[in-house]
Amino acid sequence: MVDRGLLVRVKAKAGKIEDVERFLKSALPLVRDESGTTAWFAIRLGRTEFGIFDVFPGDAEREAHLTGPVAKALMEKADELFAEPPRIQKLDVLADKLPPTVPEDADTKGVLLTFKAKAGHDKDVERFLRDAQPMVAAEPATTAWFAVRLDDGRYGIFDVFPDEAGRLKHLAGRVPRELAKHALTLLGSLPAPDLLSVRAEKFEPMFRAAA
């Protein structure tokens, strides 16, 4: 079970795109040593935008990560690699799907969706996101899925897939259809997803994460 998370966004300086990608991939061995980091993903969101999405069992594990070697290396490299300071957002995990064991095949594709609840409908949005978990649990091609509440009051969904076929199945599945159906009632508009690529990932075996 995971309750807390982080979403980090960075923009590469001109001429530093490959260096940023190499840097994020190089963080994977450090994250593998963090037993309190249940899942971690280095992602590419666009031509110059990259990020990290990770989740934790609780506040203590998240704070340990924020004061650990990955966060330290991120800040040390900020002036050299990034066009602006890293944007670090804390988040609460409302519902999730995690693989019971470490997947044999690495994920290559993902989706990040963020949106605001319509005024007075926060609880309805949270209920919708929690109710979506069984739908996603029935999707074998969706490796992991997280419904979250960000520290700026927005909500979001982050999920990963082994390939483009898995992502397309999800985007044509029940959760996006239900979200579109209720968008005008709950959100006021239909959010557009960021179709991202996964550059590196880590899953902590669930039996260890729960220990």
Q: What is the average pLDDT value for the chain, to the nearest integer? A: 94
Q: What is the pLDDT of residue 191?
A: 83
pLDDT band at 192 (very low <50, low <70, confident <90, very high): confident
One-character DSSP codes across 4-42: EEEEEEEEBPTT-HHHHHHHHHHTHHHHHT-TT--EEEE
Q: What is the pLDDT of residue 211?
A: 37
Q: What is the mean pLDDT of residues 205-211?
A: 51
Three-state DSSP state, 157: strand
Percent of the chain with pLDDT over 70: 97
pLDDT in tens, 158-167: 999 999 999 9
Q: What is the pLDDT of residue 210?
A: 40
pLDDT band at 209 (very low <50, low <70, confident <90, very high): very low
Q: What is the mean pLDDT of residues 138-160?
A: 97
pLDDT in tens, 93-108: 999 999 999 999 999 9
One-character DSSP codes across 43-111: EE-SSSEEEEEEEESSHHHHHHHHTSHHHHHHHHHHHHHBSS--EEEEEEEEEEE--SS--SSPP-EEE
Q: 89: which strand partners?
A: 7
Domains detected in the chain: 4-209 (3.30.70.100)
Q: What is the pLDDT of residue 29?
A: 96
Q: What is the pLDDT of residue 70?
A: 93
Q: 96: which strand partners?
A: 146
